[in-house]
Structure 1
Amino acid sequence: MKTYGGPVSDHFDGRRFYDPEGTRLKSLWHFLKWQLTRGRPRWPDRVPSPYADTPPPRIAGETIRFSFVGHASWLIQTAGTNILVDPIWSDRASPVSFAGPKRVNDPGIAFDALPPIDTVLVSHGHYDHLDLPTLSRLAAKFSPRVVTPLGNDLAMTHADARILAEGFDWDQRVEIDNGLAVTLVRTRHWSARGPFDRNKSLWASFVLETPAGKIYVVCDSGYGGGRLFRRVRDEHGPLRLAILPIGAYDPRWFLREQHMDPMEAVNALIDCGAEQALASHHGTFQLTDEAIDAPVTALHAALDQANIPRRRFVALKPGQVVEI
């Protein structure tokens, strides 16, 4: 498959992307050590959500409607535009349908209940974020524009030419319908879809400009001392709301550089200065070693410790909705 081959930059060496201020990620040996020594608690086979959303066709004006689909997938509706973030309706976050992390609850919106989708934001190439079967279904039904970091567009169009994917670099601003815009911003992570394409595509978070304010969408990131979150505050603030990941963080010795734990997510909220936050990346696929309810329990404890009201940083179940 063709990979990205653009000009050298401060985060692309001509072959692979990298975080110029980041820490070197763990090697294959470290990954094998984790797999051989892990003692993860077993998640239940099914944890169905009591909620299911049937979204309206459109939301007009300055209201923003957030519907939690599950894991890192969201439907954001505002200004007459419908946006999906990292959509995955597949049963597994995996390159194959018969193995790999299996979802323990149904998507909070049934695929057939989706309103017309105008734009899709895909943060990076990992299988729990870039789900080709779902993107193909969306392309066949809605033909949405797909905005993604450099290189991921090539993976999508190689798999299905109907996917209208466009690749963008960090700090690029992309205008969407009805006065909306999105800027791809730096995040502390990495990307791969197989053993030989590590960091050959870029990863990013998003700052979405809406009539009701700016929304900071972080799909995956390490904390890294908060530098990138403070940069977003300084360059894009003030922020009306942030979507921040709280799960897939244990063991810390292996995952610290790529995933935040709940205390770090609370620190990220403080650093970016958002008025409100919604929790993401938890409770759907068992990717790592924490118990299924550990992220939300730890989030509440971290908020209490920081004297932040729990209503400011809310963890939803799939199918629940927040409007601002």
Structure 2
Amino acid sequence: MPTAKRRNPYYQGPVSDHFDGTHFFNPDGIEPLGFRDLMRWQFGGGRDRWPRSVPSPFAPVKPDLRVDGNDLRVTMVGHATLLVQVAGLNILTDPVWSERASPFTFAGPKRAVAPGIAIDDLPPIDLVFVSHNHYDHLDVVTLKLLQAKHRPHVVTPLGNDTIIRSAVPDMQVTAMDWGTRLSLAGISIDAEPVHHWSARGTGDRRMALWAAFVLATPAGKIYHVGDTGFHGGVNYEAARQKHGAFRLAILPFGAYEPRWFMKGQHQNPSEAVMGMQLANAAYVAGHHFATFQLTDEAVDAPVKALKAAMVEHGIPPERFRPLRAGEVFDVPSA
């Protein structure tokens, strides 16, 4: 008797070039490795030990209420959480203020550095982008707090809206597929492909989509990538061909070792620099490092490797900024 096909609890929709009716996938890409490979990594040794606390060289900040005109300001909260202030809007990416990137309060990767903005010191938040459903990017505890105080509009890829609404029923959420566009709050938003995967538990792998977002604002275009493998640079190349150039790209460059396990889901610093060039980004706010230990590399390894990669590729250091908690980056106009 044939086995019944597993139902997707988050999304039901038509088959596409990245959805087979149950699971999302990366076209011509790498599927996430399985349990045996996970155990090989976890028990194979080679993990550098992080300090319990990694103080930022920057003190926590209280941001201005709004940034207008041609100004574009980015403030690092931590990991993939950044406050983007542009065109009178206050935008958060992948907001996580919890102490652990985990479904549990007592186990899982623990925050090594305090948030660069206390959640009570945030200016009024208009938009929130959630790139995918891994716990270091989609934190329902934080979303509940934001909803209670700010009532922002959340934009996220397909299926993640179901997860968010189940935890925060009154939250305003718009779900987007790759290649779709949304006009909201005076800007246009495109959801674009990245090479990643998703899961909240053991039975829902690849059942919610992952994506990057392109924001076309009066102050220039912003390309936000929450997580991605490099995937030969095809998604960066496609973003440049479609959107032209970016005043700012928000790119991950940490959590990449060991490469045999992480290559399909997390780019390394050299690949992030190549992605910047392929996407034609004038400046980069670098993230996804020195906050939660998710992988094997030392806490300071990503920044060291990034500096070497910028030298190798001829990128001045002021163009790719590895932002630390509390650091403010006023992005020059192109």
TM-score by length of 1: 0.98
Could you tell me how far 1:270 is from its partner in structure 2? 1.1
Q: In 2, distance between residues paired with 1:23 and 1:269? A: 22
What is residue 91 of structure 2 aligned with on the other side?
83
Could you tell me whether the CA contact under 8 Å between 2:188 and 2:216 is conserved in 1? yes
Which of residues 229, 240, 246 is equivalent to 1:233? 240
What is residue 143 of structure 1 aligned with on the other side?
151
Which of residues 13, 17, 22 is equivalent to 2:20? 13
Which of residues 282, 289, 300 is equivalent to 1:282? 289
Helix, strand or coil for the counterpart of 1:37? Answer: coil
What is residue 77 of structure 2 aligned with on the other side?
69
Which of residues 247, 253, 258 is equivalent to 2:254? 247
Q: In 1, distance between residues paired with 2:206 and 2:181? A: 22
What is residue 130 of structure 1 aligned with on the other side?
138
Could you tell me how far 1:164 is from its partner in structure 2? 1.8
Is 1:39 paired with 2:46?
A: yes
What is residue 94 of structure 1 aligned with on the other side?
102
CA-atom RMSD, angstroms? 1.1
- 1:1-324 residue pairs with structure 2 within 5 A? 2-51=9-58, 52-177=60-185, 179-324=186-331
Q: In 2, distance between residues paired with 1:131 and 1:99? A: 15
> 168-177 vs 128-137, which deviates more?
168-177
Could you tell me how far 1:232 is from its partner in structure 2? 0.2
Could you tell me whether the CA contact under 8 Å between 2:144 and 2:168 is conserved in 1? yes
Q: In 2, distance between residues paired with 1:242 and 1:38? A: 34
Could you tell me how far 1:310 is from its partner in structure 2? 1.1
> 159-168 vs 28-37, which deviates more?
159-168
Q: In 2, distance between residues paired with 1:24 and 1:125? A: 17
Could you tell me whether the CA contact under 8 Å between 1:170 and 1:184 is conserved in 2? yes
> 238-247 vs 46-55, which deviates more?
46-55
TM-score by length of 2: 0.95
Could you tell me whether the CA contact under 8 Å between 2:181 and 2:188 is conserved in 1? yes
Q: In 2, distance between residues paired with 1:136 and 1:7? A: 31
Q: Which AA in structure 2 matches 1:320? A: E
Could you tell me whether the CA contact under 8 Å between 1:17 and 1:202 is conserved in 2? yes
Deviations 1:7-56 (A, max 9, x none): 11111111111111212321111111111113211101111213212111
Runs of 4+ in 1 over 3 A off after TM superposition: none
Deviations 1:152-191 (A, max 9, x none): 01001111202222211011111121x2121110000000
Deviations 1:134-168 (A, max 9, x none): 00100111111100000001001111202222211
Q: Which AA in structure 2 matches 1:235? A: K
Q: In 1, distance between residues paired with 2:31 and 2:155? A: 27
Could you tell me whether the CA contact under 8 Å between 2:87 and 2:219 is conserved in 1? no
Q: Which AA in structure 2 matches 1:223? A: F
In structure 1, runs of 5+ residues without a counterpart are: none
Q: In 2, distance between residues paired with 1:92 and 1:181? A: 33
Helix, strand or coil for the counterpart of 1:254? Answer: helix
Helix, strand or coil for the counterpart of 2:90? Answer: strand
Q: In 1, distance between residues paired with 2:161 and 2:25? A: 18
Helix, strand or coil for the counterpart of 1:38? Answer: coil
Deviations 1:262-315 (A, max 9, x none): 011111111111111111100100000000000000000011111211111111
Deviations 1:215-263 (A, max 9, x none): 1111100001111100000001211111111100000000001100101
What is residue 4 of structure 2 aligned with on the other side?
none
Q: Which AA in structure 2 matches 1:101? A: P
Could you tell me whether the CA contact under 8 Å between 1:124 and 1:202 is conserved in 2? yes
Q: In 1, distance between residues paired with 2:115 and 2:188? A: 27
Helix, strand or coil for the counterpart of 1:215? Answer: strand
Could you tell me whether the CA contact under 8 Å between 2:25 and 2:31 is conserved in 1? no
Q: In 1, distance between residues paired with 2:165 and 2:9? A: 10
Q: Which AA in structure 1 matches 2:162? A: L
Helix, strand or coil for the counterpart of 1:34? Answer: helix
